[in-house]
Structures are given as structure tokens and as C-alpha cells.
Structure 1
Amino acid sequence: MGLGLFPAVTVVVFLGPILVGLVGTLLPSFGILPALGGTEPTLKPWRDLLAAPGLTASIRLTLITGVAATLMSVALAFGIAAAWHGSRWFAVLRGVLPPLLAVPHAAFAIGFAFLVAPSGWIVRLLSPWATGWTRPPDIALVQDPWGIAYTLALVCKEVPFLVLAIAAALGQTGADGLLRAARSLGYGPVAAWVKVVLPLVYRQVRLPVLAVLAYSLSAVEPALVLAPTLPPPLTPLVLRWFADPDLALRFQAAAGAVLQSGLVGGAILLWLGGERAVALIGRRWACAGGRGGSGWGLRAVTAAGMALAVLAVAGSIAVLALWALARGWRFADPLPAGWTLDTLAAAWPGLAGPALNTLLIGAAAVGVGLVLVAGCLENGRRLPAALAGRALWLVYLPLLVPSVGFLFGIQVVLVAAGLDGRWPALVWAHLLYVLPYMFLALADPWRALDERYERSARALGAGPWRSFLRVRVPLLLRPLATAAAIGFSVSVAQYLPTLFAGSGRVATLTTEAVVLASGADRRVTAVYAFAQALLPLLAFAAAVGVPAWMHRRRRGMRTG
């Protein structure tokens, strides 16, 4: 296959399903779904949707939690970069965040619930000596009416993603030189960063910010575990209609999915409009000449916020491990009374199948994704930088469109083709989300590699494929392994794609963990959630260890 075919194949495999899925969801929202007897256009699905109990409250909850989580995440991420850029702590943070980012949303949400619930680990550690409680308090700390726990959980997961995106963008803006120039004019460190670096960095990370906004408005797994239930946010409410035994509700659910897409699209447009207003105000502030202070206040606030986010993710995984191994854990003991592997042994017969499915689907999606991404990037080296930059919008499309907005349409097509519940359909559905993250992880290292290495190989008689396999791939082994680990962790985390493409017949660790999250046995739930979190962490460990082992006698190969 010529390199020029890779982009075309990727568009067909990648963007085609999304467009087909959007159409396949839009048509049933207007009553057209022949499989269920819908052959004439009608507005009945929309009338039923608008008359659904709790719809207004659901939309309000969706907007409040989604926008609040995005604003808090953006403020904290940029505050950390402004206050700590260039420090040793910022460099350490960049190394700590990727494994935390790899923790699937479902596992984190379950662990977070075990952490902050009225009978959670935090209350146990503080009781009774600090709180006086000898039994769990009657306080809605999880699934609270305002969605506070849900919002905070979203912030804890999105801030690491944004910080890493900002850190990657800093290397492309010449930030250090700009900061030195601003500091020489008497500006404080934070004021200098905000005035001369922030405008440049934000252009680079606009798409990740919009992806965070889209996800916060349409998250599924955290909402099912942490958000209020009467009513829930819009996406879980739509899923409830899709799963209802009454097939007539599929039309109403499709209308709800289109409404969800409209909310996200409207929020993105408002955010882009808000950028203009903020830029105007910021321009006036920058021209006012204020030099700013030392920035220690911002340093203290952002360090505390980032520490809490990191501790929340780490604590959530730790409490899953504790519950998975606990023999018994009475309130308000700070730790289990004893340890046992009996829960794991009892859960293993049911755990093995979903774990194997998770591993195989993830490995297949990563394998296909690596081939497509490498082919597109190799072909993209011949394209102008501006054209490559515009292509990022296509890569981010699945992250900007709510999953529920097109996955139902894809399911309709798969059912019609007899492919629902089949492995190719599952791998394909996961690839829609694996591919963007792998592309973003690999794009900069791929383009940054000095082309003189391959030119030297070609001058010594190596052909194009030999120089690619013997020079470029070994030098980029670490970024390739990291991209594979990121893609695998994204695949492990997929809930809706597995549910729709698998028609509920293929169980993975994610689908089982979400189902068990509403159960009464915390130990069994913890086993599944911890297993789900463990697989991506092992993938990241392999991404670090395998290149180090293969290059153990080639210490000079630090290009990757």
C-alpha cells in the first residue's frame, strides 16, 4: 500500500462511521427507523422527549456540572503552568501524571465513590476522633442533588490531561525566551507567563480544552456512578431510554441523543465566543502595564489543588485494592480487620472472560491504530505544517461529538449488516477513540526526529522500508510504546462503544464494573474495578520497561 492511501483509508475507517452514525441517530429522532415500523417523518419523538419527566432538570444538571468542571479544570491547569513553569516540581509532575491519566474513568469513579461516600475511606480515617461519628452520617456526599462529587471527579481526571497538553505545547512556543524577555522588563513570573506565553499556548491547546468541555457535558461512566439519579444528567437519561424494553422509546432516545449533541455543539460555540470576550479584556489588561507580584499565592493554591487531584486518583486506586483484599471492614475502622484472597478467587471465574475480552479488543485496536497512525504521519511529513494543523480537527472529531450522538446510529447500521456483537465491530468502535489519542501522542516525536538519520541509511544503500524499520522505528521505540500504552488505556476505558457495538453481548471489565457499581458487595465491585485500572498501568510499565531493556546496551539512543 502506498503511503498516500493511508489518509484515505483512515478517513474511511475513522470519519465514515461517525458521519453514518450521526445520520443513523438523526433519522430515528424524526420517526424514521424501518426496523421498528418508522417509515414516515414525524415530530412525535421530539414531543415525547419534551414531555419526558425531569428533562429540564436533567439539562440544567448537565450544563451546570459540565461547564463548572471545564472552567475549574482549565483554571487549575493554566494556573499550575503559570505558577510552576520551569521549576523542578513541574518536571516531576509531568512524569507523575501519565499513569494517573491512564486510570479508566469507570474505575476512578468507583474508587472515588468508595473514597468520599458517607461510609468511605476519608470518613473512616477521620472517625470518630475528628467527627464523632460512630456510624455513617446521613449526608449525600455521592450522587448529591447538585452533582458536586461528580463535578470534582471530572476535574480530577481532566486536569492531568490539560496539564500534559499545555506542557507539550510549551515546547513549541519558545516560552523560555519569551519569559526571560518579560522578566527583564520587570514583570513578575506569573504576570509574565500570562501576558506573553498564555496567548500562544492556548492556541495550541484549544482543541484539548474543547474536548474536555465536550466530555464533561456528556460523560457516561462517572455520571452513572457519581451523579444524581432523579433525574440524572442527560446522557445517562438517554441511555436509560435506549435500554428500556419498550422499543418505542428508541425514537425518544434518538431525539435525546440529538439534543445532547446540540447541547455540546452550542456549548462549544459559546466557549469560542467567550474566548473573544476574554481576549479583548486580556488585551486591555496586558496593555495596562501591571507588573504583578511574586506569584506565591497562586503557587500555593495551584499546588494544593493539584495535590488534591493527584491524591484523589491515587487514593481511589488504593481504596479499590483495600476493598478487593479486605476480609471485613467495619465502620469506622481506618483499615480492614483482615486480608484475604477469597474474594478474588470467587470472582475469578466471572472475571477471566471479561479480562480476556478487554485485553484482546485493546490489543487489536492498538495494532490497527499503530499501522494507520504511522502511515498517516509518514505521509504527512510531505505536507505543509498548516495543512497538518488543520487535520487535527478531523482527529479530534470523535472527542468533540458526544458518543451517544452517533453510536446508536452505528448500532443501527451494524444490526442491519449483521455485524453487531462481532469482534470486527467492537475493534472498529474502539478504534474511533484509540486512534485520536495515539495520533496526538505520536505526532510531535515523529515530526521532530532528525531526517538525517534516514538519509544516512539511504546513502549507505538501505531502501525506504529498511531505513524505516531499522532506523526510524528503533529511534522512536519509546514514543511508539507510549502511544500504544495510551491507546490501550483508552480502549480499556470504553463503555458506550462496547455496549452499542457489542449489543450488550460482549462483556469487558468496564461494562462489568459499571454494572457492579450499583451492587451491594463492595469487595466484588472493587476486584473488577481494580483489575480494570491495573491493565493500563501494566501497559505503561511495559512502555517504559521494554524500550529501556531493548536499548540497555545503546545508551546513546535517547532520541525517542
Structure 2
Amino acid sequence: MIRLLYLFTLALCALPFVPGVLGILIPAFSWLPPLGLTTPNLSAFDAVIQWPALTQSLWLTLFTGLGSTGLAVLFCFLILRQYWNSPHWQRVEHSLSPMLAMPHVAFAIGFAFTFAPAGWFFRLFEAIGLDTHGWFSLIKDEYGIGLLLALAIKETPFLLLMSISVLQQIKVNRLTAVASGLGYSHNESWLKVILPQWLPGMRLPIFAVAAYGISVVDVALILGPARPPTFSVLVWQWFNEPELTLLPRAAVGAMVLLGLALLALGLIRLLEWLMLQHCRQWQIDGPRHLSSKAHRRLHQPRAKLRFPSYAPFVLIPILVIPVLVLWSFAHRWRFPDLLPNRYSLRFWQQESLSLVELAANSISLALVSSLCALVLAVACLEYRQQYQRGIPSWLIALPMVLPQLSLLFGIQITTYLIPGQWYWLWVAWSHLFFVFPYLYLALDGPWRNYDIRLDQSARSLGLNGWQTWWRVKRPLLLPAIWLGLAVGVSVSLAQYLPTQMLGAGRISTLTTEAVALASGQDRRVSAIYGLLQGVLPFLFFTLAIAASRYSARYTRRTQQQRRERPDDIICGKPHYK
């Protein structure tokens, strides 16, 4: 059974790339017989090349994608350097869950309501007597700075979470102790000793962040510039053209977007090689020679900071929630009033029926895709433990580092060839395709840390394979399973492009409606959808944490009861003295 699930997972991870690639290659050469395009040509390539402001859109995409990735990596490293293994690290680690639970769309809507020209931030400045007329706005600015900052702030907690296992593997305490004995300061130890080992271990998460920044559509629609937009938004607009004969142009755009993402990943890898391997003089030039006073200042224990450096990454996501709540209940809120003049439940009552239906669709899709991904991930991890052969890392990484728009365009073209209207099934399958890598990586660490000798002891006492897994291994890994399931649900709830493209507009979720309403509808309605879209993942994370703690306490209580009654039943067989 495990072997069949393993083979099915391999097919799930590998097969979608075939129609994904062929589905953009073939239409790109204007060959679509159902639309009457039977003569291959390069007209679509010419249409893309001659598009006005194409170069500006491409440079804007590289600037926002690579810029947000660079800032997120820099912020992550500075926070780790300052707080790792310090008394404040527990506070930083505990703040990661609520920040990760908030989807990108909900954060983008709250960010827009906070930093828009009529947002709460400008209202605060007006309240203290500053004239904000003519100030630069971060929302839909022509340079994409607001989009860049929002992506960097949202992705920094993800990189911090991924850094925990990397730093635990390279044994930071020993390295810093040895470096300190050789005369290196704390900052020098992290820059010259920890960074060259931390950065290669973070390659896959950094690639995932960069690929998302290059190909993001939903956040760019809310925060990004409009004239011209980022290239991913431009391709999305081409794809939504009502004239179907223009699909070859969208296919060429999807190919260019894929090439742009691969170029960005190549640039990141080249920069890493240049910094860590080619130009290594800065790593081996030894500690700086400082005066005795400066030496004592650098080596003294780190003092408590009044304003922690990680505060913006906690305060901004927390600040957007009250802003969304205020806008959802505001009946009249004139600028520059700091708070609404009148409150009302009218908009909640007006959208209640739609909210229930959309929440049901979102939760059902999230639970089905996450539970299926959980079964497949557990089966693959058990197969790796038994046969020492797992899914290749590069195959798991492909859905995370390749642009969704490029893959889904080809997959959707392929689904047109299959008769029947299976939209819900296609959407659930696409969610499963993108949820599985994250859930697999979330469970990979606990499975590797599990002591296999416990299974061997249980088998020697008469338990079969299934009984060993259920009575010995499952209780120990159940907290990780609950949290992994919450990760899968949150990833599924945040999917925008798979739901829109493979659902053909017939499957609506909170995410799709939130993005549609954030493009110019009433701010109160947009706030309601953004708030609910952000609350659902947080609710699942809260339930998962509560369930993991309960299961851990239940396991400890059960083990204690068994230790108090050692002569009862051992492995299902009577124990005689």
C-alpha cells in the first residue's frame, strides 16, 4: 500500500509538468485547432515584443521580485544575528505563527488600507498636525516600492521559520564559541563563519521567495503599479482577454515569465557563488584589530533593546487587523478623522449569505486537499524510512520555485481536451499539487528526528507494522501532524490563481472574492472579505496548536499510567512473573 501511494505521489508531482510545459509551448506558436489556428507561426512572439512599455514592465518585475527577496534575506539574517540563542529568541519564535497564518491577500488589503493616501497612517499624521497633501504613497506607486516592502515584510517570517532547522544543523553555539576564542566579535562570527554555512542551507526557501515575488499576481493587483503593471499581472490580463484567438500571446507571456523566474534564480545562485566561493578574501582575512575599549564593547553581553529590530515584522501584520475591523464596521469615516464617525452592521448583514457560501467552499477545498496531501506525505516519509529512497528534493521544489501562472496556463489548456465539467475536482487537484510540497517539508524534520529504535523495540515485543505505527509512532508525531495539517490548510486557503484558472470562474472562494473586491469596490466590503480570509487560517493554526498540546499531554499521561501498572498487558500478551 505504501509503495502504491509513493508511486501515486511521484505521478502527482511529475506528470503535471508535462501538460504544463506543452500547454504553453504549443499555443505560443499559434497552433490551436479548436480555435481555428492550424498554421504555426511566430505572430504571438511579435505581439509580445511590440507591446508598449514591455521593457519597463520586465524591469519592474525584476526590481520588486529580487528587491523584496534581498530585503527579506537581509532582515532575516540581521534578526537571527541579534536574537539567536538570546533570551528574546523565544519571543521572536512565538510571534512567527500568527504572522505566517495571515495570507498574502489579507495582508495586502490591510496594508493598502493602512498606508494608502486616505489610510489610517496618513490619518494619524493629520491628527498630530502634519499636512500629508502631496506625500508619496506606497500603494500602486509607479516604482513598485510599496509592493516590494509588503512582500519583504510578509516573507521575512517564512525565512526565519526555515532558518531554525538550518541553524540547528550547523551548531551555531560551537562555531561562535570557537570564533570568539580566535578573537572574532559577535558580528564578525556571524558574518564570516555562520553566513557562509547558513546561506547554502537556505537556498530552497530563498528560491521559493524569489519565484513568488517574480510571479505574484494577487498581491500585485492590490498593491502594485498599474501603468505599466508587473509582467505577471500583464500576462494575467492577456489571459483574461475575451477574444480567445489572443491566447497565443498569453502563452508567449507565460513562457517569458517562466524564463524571467529562472533568470532570477540563476542570478541569485551566481551571487551566492561569487560571495561565498569566488571572492572569499573577506572570510579569511581574520578578525579586525580594535582598541581594547572597542574590543570589550563588542564582546560584552548584548543589552536589551528598547525597540526590537523584529518589531516592524510583528507590528505591521498586527496593525492591519484592527484597521480591517474598523473598516468592516465603519458606516461613515471621513478623512482625516482618526476613527469612524458612525458604526454599522449593515455590510456584515448584507454579505452574510455570500460569506457563508464562500467560507464553505474555501474550507471544503482546504480540508480535502490538505488531508489528501497529509496521507501522501506520511506514506512517502514512511516509504523513505523503510526503503531508504524518497522523493527527489528537486521534484518537491519545482511547484514552489516555478511560476504558478506558467504552469497553470498549460494545465488549463489540457483540461479543455477532457470532456465534462469537473471544475471542483480540477481546483481541488491543483490545490493538492501546491499544498503537498509545503506539508511534506513541514513533516520532514519530525520524521528525520524520530528514533527508529522505538519501532525496532516494538516489533521485537510482538507488534506488527501497523500496530507499531499506530501505538508507538503516531502518538509521538501527532503534534507535528496537526501543525503540518494547519500549514496545508493555510496554503490552500491562500490559493488564488489555481482557483481562478482551473475553476473557470465557477468556483469562488474567499481569496478570489477578496482580490476582486479589493480592485475598487467599497472599502467596507473589501475589509470584511480580507478580515475573514485572514481569520480562517489563524483559526486553523489555533486549533492545531491546541490539538498538538492536548495530544502531547495525553501521550505523557498514558505513558505515566502504563509505568504505574507495569504488569498489565504488554504488547497485547499477558505478562507472567
TM-score (norm 2): 0.91
Could you tell me which amino acid in structure 1 is paired with residue 507 of structure 2? V
The answer to whether the 8 A contact 1:357-1:508 is kept is yes
Percent identical = 38
Task: Please state if 1:319 is matched with 2:323.
Answer: yes
- Residue 383 (structure 1) shift: 5.4
Structure 1 window deviating more from structure 2 (9-18 vs 353-362): it is: 9-18
The answer to whether the 8 A contact 1:458-1:467 is kept is yes
Q: What residue is the counterpart of 1:254 in the other structure?
A: 251
Could you tell me which amino acid in structure 1 is paired with residue 126 of structure 2? S
Q: What residue is the counterpart of 2:121 in the other structure?
A: 122
The answer to whether the 8 A contact 1:127-1:332 is kept is yes
Q: What residue is the counterpart of 1:42 in the other structure?
A: 41
- Residue 187 (structure 1) shift: 1.2
CA distance in 1, matches of 2:32, 2:557: 61
* CA deviation string 1:303-346 (max 9, x = no partner): 75532122221112221122112232222222223433322111
Q: What residue is the counterpart of 2:332 in the other structure?
A: 328
Report the 3-state secondary structure (helix = DSSP H, G, I; strand = E; otherwise coil) of the residue aligned with 1:327: strand
Q: What residue is the counterpart of 2:457 in the other structure?
A: 456
The answer to whether the 8 A contact 1:121-1:334 is kept is yes
User: Where in structure 2 are the equivalents of 1:248-327 lying within 5 Å?
Assistant: 248-280=245-277, 283-291=280-288, 294=298, 306-327=310-331
CA distance in 1, matches of 2:308, 2:30: 51
User: Where in structure 2 are the equivalents of 1:355-434 lying within 5 Å?
Assistant: 355-382=359-386, 391-418=392-419, 422-434=423-435
* CA deviation string 1:37-96 (max 9, x = no partner): 223321111001111122111111101111111111111111211222111222221121
Report the 3-state secondary structure (helix = DSSP H, G, I; strand = E; otherwise coil) of the residue aligned with 1:405: helix
* CA deviation string 1:345-376 (max 9, x = no partner): 11111222111110000000001000000000
Report the 3-state secondary structure (helix = DSSP H, G, I; strand = E; otherwise coil) of the residue aligned with 1:549: helix
- Residue 291 (structure 1) shift: 4.4
Q: What residue is the counterpart of 2:90 in the other structure?
A: 91
Cα gap change, 1:254 to 1:539, in 2 (>3 Å)? same
- Residue 460 (structure 1) shift: 2.5
Report the 3-state secondary structure (helix = DSSP H, G, I; strand = E; otherwise coil) of the residue aligned with 2:15: helix
CA distance in 2, matches of 1:534, 1:22: 36
Q: What residue is the counterpart of 1:167 in the other structure?
A: 164
- Residue 519 (structure 1) shift: 2.5
- Residue 423 (structure 1) shift: 2.0
Cα gap change, 1:367 to 1:38, in 2 (>3 Å)? same
The answer to whether the 8 A contact 1:421-1:501 is kept is no
* CA deviation string 1:95-150 (max 9, x = no partner): 211221121111111110001001111111221324135xx656443100101111
The answer to whether the 8 A contact 1:261-1:405 is kept is yes
The answer to whether the 8 A contact 2:476-2:552 is kept is no
Q: What residue is the counterpart of 2:344 in the other structure?
A: 340
The answer to whether the 8 A contact 2:479-2:551 is kept is no
Instruction: Give the number of the structure whose alpha-carbon radius of gyration is greater.
Output: 2
Report the 3-state secondary structure (helix = DSSP H, G, I; strand = E; otherwise coil) of the residue aligned with 2:331: strand
Q: What residue is the counterpart of 2:570 in the other structure?
A: none
CA distance in 2, matches of 1:454, 1:39: 61
Report the 3-state secondary structure (helix = DSSP H, G, I; strand = E; otherwise coil) of the residue aligned with 1:62: helix
- Residue 457 (structure 1) shift: 2.3
Could you tell me which amino acid in structure 2 is paired with residue 258 of structure 1? M
- Residue 32 (structure 1) shift: 1.9
- Residue 249 (structure 1) shift: 1.6
TM-score (norm 1): 0.94
* CA deviation string 1:529-550 (max 9, x = no partner): 1111111000100111112234
Which consecutive unaligned segments of at least 5 residues does structure 1 have? none
Q: What residue is the counterpart of 1:207 in the other structure?
A: 204
Q: What residue is the counterpart of 1:151 in the other structure?
A: 148
CA distance in 2, matches of 1:532, 1:439: 24
- Residue 168 (structure 1) shift: 1.8
The answer to whether the 8 A contact 2:141-2:224 is kept is yes
* CA deviation string 1:182-204 (max 9, x = no partner): 11222111211222222222222
Q: What residue is the counterpart of 1:189 in the other structure?
A: 186
Task: Please state if 1:51 is matched with 2:55.
Answer: no
CA distance in 2, matches of 1:412, 1:435: 23
The answer to whether the 8 A contact 1:20-1:410 is kept is yes
- Residue 285 (structure 1) shift: 1.0
Cα gap change, 1:554 to 1:383, in 2 (>3 Å)? closer
CA distance in 2, matches of 1:420, 1:542: 35
CA distance in 1, matches of 2:272, 2:460: 50
Report the 3-state secondary structure (helix = DSSP H, G, I; strand = E; otherwise coil) of the residue aligned with 2:378: helix
Structure 1 window deviating more from structure 2 (421-430 vs 511-520): it is: 421-430
Report the 3-state secondary structure (helix = DSSP H, G, I; strand = E; otherwise coil) of the residue aligned with 1:88: coil
- Residue 299 (structure 1) shift: 9.8
